[in-house]
Structure 1
Amino acid sequence: MIDQSVADVMMESVRTVTAETTASDVARLFADHDIGSAVVVDPGSGELLGIVTESDVMHQVAIDADVATVAVGSFMSEHLVTIDSSESIHEAAAMMKEHSIRRLPVVDDGALVGILTTTNLTHYLPRLRNAVLRTRGELVGQ
């Protein structure tokens, strides 16, 4: 089986916010960039503090929080699961399943270098399948 690394599939462009960013500002960021999450970082050290998702923001709306003032640090997911860019996509998929997450920040030496989502994996699977078939000689005409 051909095994690709996370670096081959991840998106290098990952948006970050600070814990002080308001829910309304992060919602605007999501809309402006057509994304569903942002990694929360400490602005001084660059330390990864957590992740905030569209679902997190929607929950704030549902409980009638003042989204103009509530900071993402008060409702972000603090237990941040990350993966090294050199790991296999199979390991990444297993981690996502084990932790029931759809977004996996990618790090190298503790520094954020990208993000891997279930959408990335879904779009990559047909290419991986074709590569496997090519190595087996089962894909003709391509």
Structure 2
Amino acid sequence: MSVTDMGKKARDVMHEGVQCIGEHETLRTATQMMADLGVGALPICGDDDRLKGIITDRDIVVMCCAHGKDIDRTTAGELARGLVWVDAEASLEEALFAMEEHHIKRLPVVAGHRLVGIISEADLAKELPDSKLAEFVHRVYALD
């Protein structure tokens, strides 16, 4: 069974209720939110409530802590980079392609210019046949 046979849209597989970290909030706040929510990534939203990026626990360690930056002074917006997202009405196949092409494990889902959810590997594991999931994992983790 191919993904297109499933007829699912990004909206159908995303995790709803995603919380943003404000672009001016510190990385300390981001780490506390991640711990409280039990997640490893947070979307970054601007003052205009629009998606600006996504930050992961690994980003904080590699781009802040490892470079001696202060997590109490560095903002989430400073680490925002390379925004990749998918429209809520996009097919699951389009979402998979975007994740594979950009080697990302979490994909924000947007509707009407607003963040409405996120698709993660765990969400895909519930939806994809084992063979398709294995193919996805191989492509996302493959080096260019």
| Interval of TM-score (by shorter of Structure 1 and Structure 2) | 0.7 to 0.9
Task: Give 1:26-65 correspondences, 5 Å limit.
Answer: 26-43=30-47, 45-59=48-62, 60-65=64-69
SS of corresponding position for 1:26: helix
Matched, 1:17 2:21: yes
Q: Give the deviation of 1:3 after TM superposition.
A: 2.1
**Cα offset, 1:124, TM superposition:** 2.1
Aligned to 1:72: 76
Identity %: 31
The answer to whether the Cα contact below 8 Å between 1:23 and 1:67 also exists between their aligned partners in 2 is yes
Shift of residue 40 of structure 1? 1.2
Structure 1 vs Structure 2 CA RMSD: 1.7
Measured in 2, the distance between the counterparts of 1:69 and 1:51 equals: 18
Task: Give structure 2 stretches of 5+ with no counterpart.
Answer: 133-144
Residue 64 of structure 1: CA displacement?
2.0
Query: 1:113 is matched with which residue?
Result: 116
What TM-score results when the alignment is normalised by the length of structure 1? 0.81
Matched-pair contact (CA < 8 Å) for 1:21–1:72: yes
Matches of 2:61 and 2:102 in 1, distance apart? 21
Report the counterpart of residue 140 of structure 1 in structure 2: none
Contact 1:106 1:115 in 2 (8 A): yes
Using the TM superposition, give the Cα deviation of residue 121 of structure 1 relative to its aligned residue in structure 2, in angstroms: 0.4
Aligned residues of 1:56 and 1:76 also touching (Cα < 8 A): no
Cα separation, 1, equivalents of 2:103 and 2:94: 14
1:87 equivalent among 77, 81, 90: 90
Cα offset for 1:36?
A: 1.4
Query: Cα offset for 1:123?
Result: 2.4
How many residue pairs align between the two structures?
Answer: 126
Q: How big is the shift at 1:6?
A: 1.1
Cα distance in 2 for residues equivalent to 1:13 and 1:38: 12
| 1:3–1:90 Cα contact (<8 Å) kept | no
Alpha-carbon shift at residue 69 of structure 1 (Å): 1.5
Q: TM-score, normalised by structure 2?
A: 0.80
